[in-house]
Amino acid sequence: MDFRLTEPQRFFREQAAQALTRLVPKAEDIDKEDDFPLDLFKKLGKLGYYGIRYPAEIGGMGADCVTFTILAEEIARVSMGLAAVVTMQCLMGTDFIHHFGTEGQKERCLIPAIRGEKIGTIAFTEPDCGSDLGSIKTRAVKDGRTYAITGRKMWITNGQVADFVTVAATTDPAKRLDGLGFFLVEKGTPGFSVGQKIEKISARGANTAELIFDGCRIPEENFLGREGKGAQHLNDILSEIRTMIAGLGLGLSKASFAAGLKYAGEREAFGRSIGNFQLIQEKIAEMEMRIKASEFLTYYAAWLKDSGALTGKEAAMAKLYSTETACFVVDEVTRIHGAYGIAEEYPAQRYFRDARFLLFGGGTSEILKTLIARDTLKKTR
């Protein structure tokens, strides 16, 4: 198998790395201030990143999944908060409108979002519902040619600043996943409001909030997709979401690993750099090996997506292994730093905190292991 990037993919990585490297001094500011990085958001929009997955005729790049994964990796190397904002805009926050929206909705929401002029998000999670989407309580009730949406959503990335949101709601709770639907709700719609901001220790800058829908009435054309096909529509992008998150984990692992190598070469003990000690070298070898394995799994999943052969199992394995590797790497790097691993003057503590952000979106490690095991057992019967 040929694991080499194509020339356009290599060129994109080089250009993205150069552009994003200029943002490195901002990473600490984003983390400390925990404000939505609006100026950087607009600059990245001008670079065209938000349309990376979308066709050229609507202002996108028309790039493949490997290229999108490269973008996720490179941004995560710089700032996980910024990475969460950007990938939400590129994928989850806009994908349903691209596939199911009317021309008017695309003109109003999608095309401005690609240019970085509007901000989108998606709302799945509820106070009492995370992985089990079949138990969603937010209701969408049909009334003539409108729907009335009532419910609360939690942990919504970009929630405080979003101009539009794709809301997961049930049209029939008894049908569980078969009753799931997705609805476009725009800022300013009566009955739609932003609740509390959720303070968190990782991916700071990607503001996370509660959204409240109190009899929020929208026209029937804001139903995105087909009746009874919500779960299928979600599954159509879920593997890409997991592959993208694997890219985020890979980028964070590489950034943290580089910080650990630098410190191991600079820090001296007993008359020599600590990188010369065998136990530190063991940590370095283990991290390098796991990062390389994570890279292969991640880009294999992206390649399968581009080949039309990606299954939920490969995407789940990539997301699971890459994010768990990130958690392992950031822990080892803080150990290499010793007490300085929790000092704010070094980025190790930020990497350590940011790794936790990766464990939940797209499926927890426990859920992913269950999916992988079930698929494996099914094929052995």
Residue percentage of the chain with pLDDT more than 70: 99
Question: pLDDT class for 80, splitting at 50, 70, 90?
Answer: very high
Q: Do residues 92 and 137 share a domain?
A: no
Question: pLDDT class for 86, splitting at 50, 70, 90?
Answer: very high
Rounded to the nearest integer, the mean pLDDT of the chain is: 94
With a cut of 90, say whether residue 380 has pLDDT above it: no
CATH of the domain at 144: 2.40.110.10
Q: What is the pLDDT of residues 321-338, one digit of tens each?
A: 999 999 999 999 999 999
Q: Is residue 267 part of a domain?
A: yes
**What is the C-alpha separation between 129 and 135, in angstroms, rounded?**
7
Judge whether 142 and 154 are in contact, CB under 8 Å.
Answer: no
Q: Do residues 260 and 316 share a domain?
A: yes
Q: What is the pLDDT of residues 30-58, one digit of tens each?
A: 999 999 999 999 999 999 999 999 999 99
Nearest to 27 by CA among 257, 298, 256, 331: 256
CATH of the domain at 31: 1.10.540.10
Q: Is residue 1 part of a domain?
A: no
Q: Do residues 214 and 246 share a domain?
A: no
Element (H, E) at 216: strand 208-219
CATH of the domain at 347: 1.20.140.10
With a cut of 90, say whether residue 133 has pLDDT above it: no
Residue percentage of the chain with pLDDT more than 90: 87
**DSSP letter at 187?**
T
Q: Do residues 56 and 157 share a domain?
A: no
Q: Do residues 252 and 330 share a domain?
A: yes
Q: Is residue 250 part of a domain?
A: yes
Domain finish residue from 49, 83, 114: 114
With a cut of 90, say whether residue 22 has pLDDT above it: no
Is residue 185 packed enough to be buried (19+ CB in 10 Å), middle (13-18) or exposed (0-12)?
A: buried
Question: pLDDT class for 187, splitting at 50, 70, 90?
Answer: very high
pLDDT of residue 282: 98
Q: Is residue 211 part of a domain?
A: yes
**What is the C-alpha separation between 99 and 134, in angstroms, rounded?**
23
With a cut of 90, say whether residue 15 has pLDDT above it: yes
Q: Do residues 175 and 247 share a domain?
A: no
With a cut of 80, say whether residue 320 has pLDDT above it: yes
pLDDT of residue 1: 66
Question: pLDDT class for 23, splitting at 50, 70, 90?
Answer: confident
What average pLDDT does range 126-143 have in this prediction? 86
With a cut of 90, say whether residue 350 has pLDDT above it: yes
pLDDT of residue 25: 77
With a cut of 90, say whether residue 379 has pLDDT above it: no
With a cut of 80, say whether residue 2 has pLDDT above it: no
State how many domains the chain has: 3
Q: Which of 47-56, 97-106, 123-132, 295-304 has the lowest mean pLDDT?
A: 123-132
Q: Is residue 315 part of a domain?
A: yes
DSSP for 219-240 reads EGGGB-S-TT-HHHHHHHHHHH
Q: What is the pLDDT of residues 212-237, one digit of tens each?
A: 999 999 999 999 998 888 888 888 89
Q: Do residues 288 and 365 share a domain?
A: yes
With a cut of 80, say whether residue 19 has pLDDT above it: yes
Q: Is residue 2 part of a domain?
A: no
List Cβ neighbours of 166 (8 Å cut-off, separation of 6 or more).
92, 93, 96, 97, 120, 121, 122, 123, 182, 183, 184, 224
Domain finish residue from 172, 192, 227: 227
pLDDT of residue 3: 78
With a cut of 70, say whether residue 375 has pLDDT above it: yes
Domain finish residue from 114, 148, 176: 114
Q: Do residues 282 and 366 share a domain?
A: yes
Question: pLDDT class for 78, splitting at 50, 70, 90?
Answer: very high
Q: Is residue 205 part of a domain?
A: yes
Q: Do residues 278 and 204 share a domain?
A: no
Q: Is residue 223 part of a domain?
A: yes
* Domain extent at residue 276: 231-380
- pTM comes to 0.95
**What is the C-alpha separation between 183 and 147, in angstroms, rounded?**
9
With a cut of 70, say whether residue 374 has pLDDT above it: yes
What average pLDDT does range 3-32 have in this prediction? 90
What average pLDDT does range 103-114 have in this prediction? 97
Strand 164-170 and strand 120-123: the pairing is parallel
What average pLDDT does range 99-104 have in this prediction? 96
What average pLDDT does range 283-312 have in this prediction? 96
pLDDT of residue 226: 87
Q: Do residues 107 and 132 share a domain?
A: no
Q: Do residues 147 and 196 share a domain?
A: yes
Q: Do residues 155 and 94 share a domain?
A: no
